[in-house]
Structure 1
Amino acid sequence: MEVTTAFGNEDAAAMVAELRRNFASGKTRSYEWRVTQLKKIVKMVEERESEIVDALRSDLNKPAFESVVYEISMLKSSCKVALKELKQWMKPQKVKTTIVAFPSSAEIVAEPLGVVLVISAWNYPILLSLDPVVGAIAAGNAVVLKPSEIAPATSSLLAKYVKEYLDNSAVRVVEGAVPETSALLEQKWDKIFYTGNGRVARVVMSAAAKYLTPVVLELGGKSPVIVDPDVNLKISVRRIIAGKWGCNNGQACISPDYIVTTKEFAPKLVDTLKRELERFYGSDPLQSNDLSRIVNSNHFDRLERLLDEDKVAGKIVHGGQRDKAQLKIAPTLLRDVPLDSLMMTEEIFGPLLPIITVDKLEDSYEIIMSRAKPLAAYLFTNRKDMKNQFVKTVSAGGLVINDSAIHLTVHGLPFGGVEESGTGSYHGKFSFDAFSHKKAVLYRSFMGDAFVRYPPYTHGKMRLLGALICENILGIFQALMGWSSNSSLKDKTA
């Protein structure tokens, strides 16, 4: 497979300059070009599905089920939504005008930003690479994709097949690690879309600030789960497990990070979690073919550090098995982990799930709000008042009631964070909007020229124009009446 090597600032500058020339030619703006490229993405993932599954297994030991359902199928769904809706998205949006501008018409025109950079993450290296590219292409941009070097098999596959299937004059892939990413960030882009962690996001924002480049940052955070005793416990637990361990073994930005429930209910919740985990992954989960491995030894060591902290000693109530040679950690439950422990102050991003207990469920809000705003927050309850309070109280990128992680599949919802969990959003039309400039356009004829806007400025003109701007009908009438009775001939004819 072809790999980009020795890619430095000069190479990056030359590539961006070429893409700018190609974008300036107008080729990416046409509806036909956009549709053709989107169809080719669908064709690529359909024809290369087995190779994609193999690459994801190589990088993450990802089960084929998760690869097909959560990466390939979701990507195809994004393309098909864009193909179905693109004409409507591209259509100018009519806007009402004001009395001041009468007679006139106005519209908002969505135009492509230009040449954009997408820097993707390793945990869903197909979906998180190509889903933003779908939005960039749908909006008519030229785009450079930088896949994560932490998923090398998938990165190499993307470099090979994007070049083979898509228009290389407007869509490029650059492989590599920090030096290549740094060279890309030195360039002037019309937008940067980054998926990853807050530390690198700060580097991206600093680089973008040099050119005042707008950014979308898709980050993460400690996504909480509140479990009310008034639930269907078996269904709730299964949905928590699906969102936690069924999504890349907890290595997902929207995975449940910790549970909050009442002291009285916690034992019943833990017992049900244990039972369902064993049903799904067996009595020896390290041998399960349905769990992804930890991506690399660095992340394995990080998770071990969370587990081995003195403050966490004795808190494991289920799991805890580890095999560094296979980079596997079993689904692990912990009870009453101290709130100042590393596990409760850092994003876990792995198969560990602490359960925090409170006297009454409403106390969970204080715990959640004492931390940075998460990418997602989940509530399991049958109580309407609890649902309403949750929506009013918890600030997060997205909320889900009585499930976890599934909001990612709803194209009509924006997917993105808030504050430290990210800025900007995408999915469906929100992806198109993320890579578009909404240009305001006002059309006027030479009729209806308002003399009141021109010098000499008089008190009568000021009153009338102020009333016109505010669309104050009574004020306009009063200004005209006052003008008629009090203004000088000079004012009337000015």
Structure 2
Amino acid sequence: MEYRKTQLEALSHFLAENEMEILHALNVDMRRPPFEGQIADISLIKNEVNEALNNLSYWMKDECVDKNLATKLDCAFVRKDPYGVVLIISPFNYPFHLTLIPMVGAIAAGNCIIVKPSEQSSCSEKLLAEVLPTYLDPETFAVVTGGAEPTSKLLENKFDYIMFTGSPRIGKIVMSAAAKHLTPLTLELGGQNPCYVDCCCNFQNAANRIVWGKFFNCGQTCLAPDYVICTIETQERLMPCLRQAIREFYGCNPRESPDYGRMINDKHFQRVRALLDSGRVAIGGETDECDRYIAPTVLADVKEWEPVMQEEVFGPILPIFIVRDLDEAIQYINSKERPLALYAFSCDNKVVNRVLDCTSSGGFCGNDCIMHATLVSLPFGGVGYSGFGMYHGKYGFDTFTHHRGCLSRCMGLEAINCIRYPPYSQRKLDLLVAATEVRRKGFCTLL
């Protein structure tokens, strides 16, 4: 326990003593505003570290479990063992957040860790590779850098657990490599996150929250709402509110706003710019290839088969998809792969709860976007195509922990055990079944 706490404290010191360097690296890589870097890549990581330090002694304790009559005098418990050596592969969009928060769980669980940050956010990768190891024990923690080839070589090795955050395409490669060694893993993948907006709504409040969630980090967020789904009447009322929110947040010319980021590289810029051909540009649409700038954009008249509705946008483009009513919205959402997050806006709680009850997603947030991921008390993870496994808070500790079922019995009282030994008899069978059965509570049979 003391060793784990020492390493968590060291991680905390890394954040505190390199705050300006972290913010600078994020700004160089993605023009990330310091405010966004402070919230997403420093504050939330600190929360995870503090949560682990506050609760580690409790999390690590053996967990006593219920016993049957046959083991009433014995000790039955769950031991929390580390898996061993953990590999964490993180993406470019939140290079510190998505590297260090999984690390918190893995450290708390007592594992050795190899980290592979994304080479695309090169300034952040360099900081993680050169500075982070000076804070942590080099005997148990290491950072590996490079692109696809070093990652492939890394995956040829046998690990005890792998955590990957990134696209479903690469997730399949990682899962295939893990399967060769029967290595358990967690996949945090992407997908299209729907955002249902009801006709009964405070449209300006909804627009403010959607615009913030969509254009935070220039839309390069796996939890960002990928598309708004609503009726034509709702679109007509929502559109001016979206326009007003964008203007209030980023000014008349978002390109000059210090609070608006840029695409990570030319490849992603080209990919996202091509999505502007879908539907009709209702707001924004301006681009600058030299600056990797794509304006906060809203698309209308989008069709189901168009490219922007076929893939995770991962950029500052928000399509609006029209349906007749809530039933059709739910039907459409359920016709697609299950998303990492799902959002529903309505002043009627019955509507929000209906969306929650009738759909499946990794996480859900009613009347806001992304904010559910700020709680260390909630599990974070996908379902189906958006991934599997979870972390944050104790869920991270549990993910990187082998829960070892243990029973410790005394050497005496052999008379109790003899009912399970040959020669068998009906009486022994009846006694053993009675001694090991689980009875239903509050259940009785009417004769």
TM-score, scaled to structure 1:
0.87
* Residue aligning to 1:214: 184
Q: In structure 2, which of residues 249, 255, 267 is the aligned counterpart of residue 298 of structure 1?
A: 267
* Structure 1 residues 332-365: Cα deviation after superposition (integer angstroms, max 9, x where no partner): 1011300011110111010000111222122101
Q: Is the 8 A contact 2:83 2:402 kept in 1?
A: yes
Q: Is the 8 A contact 1:99 1:468 kept in 2?
A: yes
Q: In structure 2, which of residues 297, 300, 308 is the aligned counterpart of residue 332 of structure 1?
A: 297
Structure showing greater radius of gyration is: 1
The aligned amino acid for 1:123 is N
Which structure 1 segments of 5+ residues have no match?
A: 1-30, 474-494
Where do residues 19-418 of structure 1 align in structure 2 (5 Å cutoff)?
A: 31-246=1-216, 248-308=217-277, 312=278, 315-418=280-383
Q: CA deviation at 1:236?
A: 1.3
* Residue aligning to 2:408: 443
* Structure 1 residues 146-194: Cα deviation after superposition (integer angstroms, max 9, x where no partner): 0000001100100111121111110100111111101110000000000
Q: Give the SS at the match of 2:233.
A: coil
C-alpha spacing 1:404/1:471, structure 2 compared with 1 (3 Å): closer
Looking at structure 1, the residues matched to 223 and 131 of structure 2 have their Cα atoms a distance apart, in angstroms, of: 29
* Residue aligning to 1:23: none
Q: CA deviation at 1:101?
A: 2.1
Tell me, yes or no, if structure 1 residue 458 matches structure 2 residue 412. Answer: no
Looking at structure 2, the residues matched to 361 and 335 of structure 1 have their Cα atoms a distance apart, in angstroms, of: 19
Aligned length: 438
Looking at structure 2, the residues matched to 81 and 97 of structure 1 have their Cα atoms a distance apart, in angstroms, of: 31
C-alpha spacing 1:271/1:93, structure 2 compared with 1 (3 Å): same
* Residue aligning to 2:443: none
Q: CA deviation at 1:472?
A: 6.0
Q: Is the 8 A contact 1:121 1:195 kept in 2?
A: yes
The aligned amino acid for 1:368 is I
TM-score, scaled to structure 2:
0.96
The aligned amino acid for 1:388 is N
Looking at structure 2, the residues matched to 129 and 58 of structure 1 have their Cα atoms a distance apart, in angstroms, of: 18
Q: Is the 8 A contact 2:204 2:238 kept in 1?
A: no
**Overall identity of the aligned pairs, in %:** 42
Looking at structure 2, the residues matched to 299 and 72 of structure 1 have their Cα atoms a distance apart, in angstroms, of: 25
* Residue aligning to 1:27: none
Q: CA deviation at 1:386?
A: 1.3
Looking at structure 2, the residues matched to 158 and 41 of structure 1 have their Cα atoms a distance apart, in angstroms, of: 11
Looking at structure 2, the residues matched to 46 and 274 of structure 1 have their Cα atoms a distance apart, in angstroms, of: 38
Looking at structure 1, the residues matched to 251 and 28 of structure 2 have their Cα atoms a distance apart, in angstroms, of: 23
Q: Give the SS at the match of 2:312.
A: coil
Q: Give the SS at the match of 1:265.
A: helix
Q: Is the 8 A contact 1:286 1:323 kept in 2?
A: no
Looking at structure 2, the residues matched to 141 and 199 of structure 1 have their Cα atoms a distance apart, in angstroms, of: 28
Q: Is the 8 A contact 1:96 1:105 kept in 2?
A: no
Looking at structure 2, the residues matched to 255 and 82 of structure 1 have their Cα atoms a distance apart, in angstroms, of: 27
Q: Is the 8 A contact 1:146 1:175 kept in 2?
A: yes
Which structure 2 segments of 5+ residues have no match?
A: 441-447
Q: Is the 8 A contact 1:57 1:64 kept in 2?
A: yes
Q: CA deviation at 1:471?
A: 4.6
Looking at structure 1, the residues matched to 303 and 352 of structure 2 have their Cα atoms a distance apart, in angstroms, of: 27
* Residue aligning to 1:15: none
Q: In structure 1, which of residues 458, 465, 468 is the aligned counterpart of residue 435 of structure 2?
A: 468
* Residue aligning to 2:395: 430
Q: CA deviation at 1:92?
A: 1.0
The aligned amino acid for 1:438 is H
Looking at structure 2, the residues matched to 275 and 241 of structure 1 have their Cα atoms a distance apart, in angstroms, of: 10
Q: Is the 8 A contact 1:286 1:322 kept in 2?
A: no
Looking at structure 1, the residues matched to 282 and 318 of structure 2 have their Cα atoms a distance apart, in angstroms, of: 10
The aligned amino acid for 1:298 is K
Q: Is the 8 A contact 1:99 1:471 kept in 2?
A: no
The aligned amino acid for 1:277 is I
Q: Give the SS at the match of 1:392.
A: helix
Looking at structure 2, the residues matched to 320 and 419 of structure 1 have their Cα atoms a distance apart, in angstroms, of: 33
C-alpha spacing 1:449/1:419, structure 2 compared with 1 (3 Å): same
Q: CA deviation at 1:66?
A: 0.5
* Structure 1 residues 382-424: Cα deviation after superposition (integer angstroms, max 9, x where no partner): 2232122112111000000011000111111100000110110
The CA RMSD measured in Å over matched residues stands at: 1.3
Looking at structure 1, the residues matched to 405 and 340 of structure 2 have their Cα atoms a distance apart, in angstroms, of: 32
Looking at structure 2, the residues matched to 151 and 59 of structure 1 have their Cα atoms a distance apart, in angstroms, of: 5
Q: Give the SS at the match of 1:240.
A: helix
The aligned amino acid for 2:272 is L
The aligned amino acid for 1:225 is C
